[in-house]
Amino acid sequence: MPDIFCALCGEPWDQDYVTHELHPLDRPRFLEGAGCEACDFGRSCPPCSGTGREKGDRAGGCAVCLGSRCLIIRQPVNSNRPERWEYGYRPHVRPIDNPEIITRYRPTSTRDELVRNAKAHCPACRGTAPPCRVCAGSGELQPVPDGDLRAAISELAASDAEPLGILARRLGDRCP
């Protein structure tokens, strides 16, 4: 099956993933052109993951984030210390004090508890990497030109849904 492109960042997504695996709350947002998981639904630059910094080499990069320039951090919902965030996996969970949060995600369940999730700048290499070439260091999404039209065409090619319905949903009042 052909890919469906994100209307904002142009990232290709497999039709089966969009139909069967994308979170049910995110699927309508994606299909309406509000972004995708790669651009945090219009909140961040995909090449740098919203950090504003070029990603590094996994092998020779930062030992904390492995060159990604960000960490996925979590916080127990029922924590008696609401300011405490942590990263890593058991048995190597590490606390992170005063994280610079890029994006917050919906809470998820682990086998032990309900946790808040967020993406934060890596504290170890925050200022050491060069600025991202795409967003010039802002971390903000730079929308692709005619992304909504390209997304509509890609969905038309990948879907058995009514073409006029797809165009009306994707292009709204710009639909002929």
DSSP sequence for 131-153:
BPTTTTTS----PPTTHHHHHHH
119 shares a domain with 69: yes
Number of domains in the chain: 2
For residues 130 and 150, the answer to whether their CB atoms sit within 8 Å is no
Could you tell me if residue 48 is inside a domain?
no
Query: Do residues 174 and 120 both lie within one domain?
Result: no
Contact 12, 98 (CB under 8 A): no
> Tokens at residue 71, please?
């960490």
Is pLDDT at 82 greater than 60 in this prediction?
yes
Q: Is the same domain home to 31 and 81?
A: no
- Show the domain range for 128: 53-133
In a domain, 83, yes or no: yes
Residues 59 and 11 in one domain: no
- Residue 83: the pLDDT is 73
- Tokens for 96, please give them: 């992170």
User: Residue 36 — pLDDT band, cuts 50, 70, 90?
Assistant: very high
- Please give the pLDDT value at position 58: 61
Q: Examine residue 24 and state whether it is found in any structural domain, yes or no.
A: yes
Percent of the chain surpassing pLDDT 90: 28
Residue 70 lies in a domain: yes
